[in-house]
Amino acid sequence: MSTSAPVKKIYPGNYLVLFVSEGTGYLNITIREKILEAGFHVISSSASPDALRRAGSDVRVLFLYLSPAMLAKPEALQAFRKQAAERRLSIFVLANQHDELYQLEQIIPKQFILREFTRPIDFSEMVTGMCEALGSLNNRRRRKILAVDDSGAMLRNIKTWLGSEYDVNIANSSLVAIKHICLDQPDLVLLDYEMPICDGPQLLRMLRADPTYADLPIIFLTGKNDRDSITQVMSLHPAGYILKSNGVEAVKTTVHKFFNP
C-alpha cells in the first residue's frame, strides 16, 4: 500500500506577501494583522497595475481581498495575472461572496489561484490554509516541460538533456501540443519554429489569444537565426529564444535560469 509523501513544512518568514485591498476598514486591517501574526512579511497596497512593480521583486505571494471596488479595476487585475505568471507568484483570494470569485475568475482563471476563501472566515483556518497550500506547492513533483518539434531525434535529445531534472513530455506537432496543454498544462513549453501545417509562431499566437493560456511561458528552440524570423517571434513576447546550434549546454542553462531566476 503506497502512501503520499508528507507535505513539506513552510516557514512564513521566507515569504513576502503583497496584501491588496480597497479601503482601510476594520476587516482589511484584521486580515493583514492575522497574516502578519502567522509570521509572513506583509506589504499593503490598493489595486493598481503597477502595485507589484512598486512592491519589489521579493514578493512571493499575492493576497487579494476582493470587493466591488477592486472588481471595478479590471486593468489592475489583468496586470496582476500577467505579472504573477511571469514571476511565478502564489495567489490567494478572500471574497465576501461566491459571485465575486466568479467575476474575478473571468480575469484571473482559477488555475492561477492557489487557494480561495469566502466569508464568513475563521482567520486561524485561513492562515493555516495558506501555509498548507504553500507547503503542498513546494512538495509537488518536478517542473513540467513540453517539448514541441517535428523532429523525433530532437525530441529524444531534449528528453535526454532535461529528463533527469524535469518531467519532459513531447509533442511532434502543434495539434498534439494543444492536446497536451489542455489536458496537463506544463510549466514551460520548448517550441520549434518550423513545423508543418501549424508552425511555432502560429501556435504561440493561438495560445496568446486564449485567456487561459495567454501567460503560458514559451521558449523557442529552433534553427531559425535570420533577423526577420527572430523579430517576428520576439514581437509575440516569448520567454526566450535558443538556437539549436548553440547545443545542449545553452538549452540546459536557459531552462535552469528560467526556473531559478
pLDDT given at position 101:
94
Q: Nearest to residue 38, comparing CAs of 119, 102, 128?
A: 128
Residue 122 grid coordinates:
475563521
| Residue 10 confidence (pLDDT) above 80 | no
pLDDT given at position 203:
95
Residue 87 grid coordinates:
514571476
| Residue 153 confidence (pLDDT) above 90 | yes
| Cα separations in angstroms, 187 against 54, 115, 145, 166, 216 | 26, 19, 6, 10, 7
Residue 229 grid coordinates:
524570423
Q: How many beta carbons lie within 10 A of that of residue 144, not counting itself? A: 17
What is the widest separation between alpha-carbon atoms in the chain?
Answer: 61
Q: How many beta carbons lie within 10 A of that of residue 12, not counting itself? A: 18
pLDDT given at position 1:
35
| Residue 66 confidence (pLDDT) above 50 | yes
CA distance 186 to 145: 5
Over the stretch 235-249, which tens digit does the pLDDT of each residue have?
888 999 999 999 999
Tell me, what DSSP letter sits at residue 14? Answer: G
Over the stretch 68-101, which tens digit does the pLDDT of each residue have?
999 999 999 999 998 888 888 999 999 988 899 9
What's the pLDDT band for 8 if we cut at 50, 70, 90? low
| Residue 12 confidence (pLDDT) above 90 | no
pLDDT given at position 14:
82
Q: What is the pTM of this model?
A: 0.58
Residue of 179 and 211 predicted with greater confidence: 179
Q: How many CA atoms lie within 13 A of 90 on its CB side?
A: 19
Average pLDDT, the chain: 89
Q: Which helix (H) or strand (E) segment is 117 a member of?
A: strand 115-118
| Residue 141 confidence (pLDDT) above 80 | no
Q: How many CA atoms lie within 13 A of 118 on its CB side?
A: 7
| Residue 215 confidence (pLDDT) above 90 | no
Average pLDDT over residues 143-168: 92
Residue of 192 and 110 predicted with greater confidence: 192
Average pLDDT over residues 17-43: 92
